[in-house]
Structure 1
Amino acid sequence: MPRNKSYSDDIVLGRAMQVFWNYGYEATSVRMLEKEMNINQFSIYSSFQNKKNLFVESIRNYREYVKKHRFQVLLQKDAGLAELEQFLQNSVQKVNQNDSSRGCLVVNTAAEIGNKDEDIAIEINRYYDFIREMLKNVLLNAVSKGEVSPNTDVEKQASFFLGVMQGLSVAKKTMDKNQLADFIAVAIKQIK
């Protein structure tokens, strides 16, 4: 007879995401996950089969997390260049002590694992596709509003700004706010 779970998969997945975000995939042990998720190893394997599946689910969970907590302004229907510039500036001005030193879970994972694991690489690319699509919508709005030239190659600029976001995620771990402001100013200036 199957046992009833005494925990919510969503809650323990959120906790696992935080552990992976703090320590990375390789440095995170099942023991650490047990402690932070507040469930035993059997329950982890019962719900997620293995550490890698738990990690892939954590990346998916992270995508939903950033939609709610980071990208709301860029996901607005009419967000344009002004919102993109403000978002980039806010990401370095209002440095959240918890999140800034950790950077972005997906950028960290791309640096740590890259294409070494196909399943993880697929999930990283799904996250980047989400960001790229969001940026394309922002840039299409910017063209419609006359904030940028109608000749703007929105596809290429979306990829460029995805790279800017990745770079900022890493750079804000060590660069000062003036250097980060210069980074943003040059990125915005090139599209105007």
Structure 2
Amino acid sequence: MARTKEFDPDRVLQRAMELFWERGYEATSMADLVTHLGIGRASLYSTFGSKHDLYLAALRRYLRHSEAGFVSALAQPGPALPALRAFVQSWVTEALTDPQHRGCFVVNAAVELSGRDSEVARQVEASWSVVETAVLSSLLRAQAQGELAADKDPHEIAHFLLVVMQGVRVIARAAPEAARLEATARLALAALE
């Protein structure tokens, strides 16, 4: 007869995500995971597989939760540019109000692992594609509604905003200085005028 799990796998995955997000993949040992998650090593392996498998599951969890919110916010009916401006500004606000300076889990994964881990690289690129597509859709809608000048290239602006926003998240991890990030947001938003 199979034993029932004495823990909630979803809750454990959430806690693993938080630990990987804070420390990174390499700096988080299996012993750290066992201690932080409060479950045995054998239970961890039987439920999630290897440390790498658990990391990928944590990254996918982060992506599901983070992408749903901003895609929904950018897809709301009505004027598109105010939502897009709020979206860009939210990245700066998030960076400045994160007391742990964790940055973005996706950016952290890209910097730490994507150059040598093809599955992480695939997840990171897929995430950035979702962000860029949501921004592009918002820009195309703004242009169709007359909010964005006809001579602006929505594809170029979407590429630019993606790179700027990811840069904000890198800075957020290292040195989130308000004046620097707010100036960056102002210049990025000027591309929408």
Task: Give the count of matched residue pairs.
Answer: 191
Report matched runs for 1:43-192 at 5 Å.
43-67=43-67, 72-78=72-78, 80-93=80-93, 95-98=96-99, 101-173=101-173, 174-192=175-193
Looking at structure 2, the residues matched to 139 and 45 of structure 1 have their Cα atoms a distance apart, in angstroms, of: 45
Q: Is 2:20 the counterpart of 1:20? A: yes
Per-residue deviation at 1:188?
A: 1.8
Per-residue deviation at 1:71?
A: 6.0
Contact 1:84 1:138 in 2 (8 A): yes
Q: Give me the CA root mean square deviation.
A: 2.1
Q: Deviations over 1:79-136 (max 9, x none)?
A: 622222222223324633346x000001011111122011111111121122112112
Structure 2 residues not aligned, in runs of 5+: none
Q: 1:72 to 1:56 in 2, by over 3 A?
A: same
Contact 1:107 1:166 in 2 (8 A): yes
Per-residue deviation at 1:60?
A: 0.7
Looking at structure 2, the residues matched to 68 and 98 of structure 1 have their Cα atoms a distance apart, in angstroms, of: 24
State percent identity of aligned pairs.
31
Looking at structure 1, the residues matched to 119 and 172 of structure 2 have their Cα atoms a distance apart, in angstroms, of: 28
Per-residue deviation at 1:70?
A: 5.9
Letter in 2 for 1:169: R
Contact 1:79 1:138 in 2 (8 A): no
Structure 1 residues not aligned, in runs of 5+: none
Q: Deviations over 1:1-50 (max 9, x none)?
A: 33211222211111110000000011011111112222111111111110
Contact 2:107 2:166 in 1 (8 A): yes
Contact 2:103 2:170 in 1 (8 A): yes
Letter in 2 for 1:32: D
Q: 1:78 to 1:116 in 2, by over 3 A?
A: farther
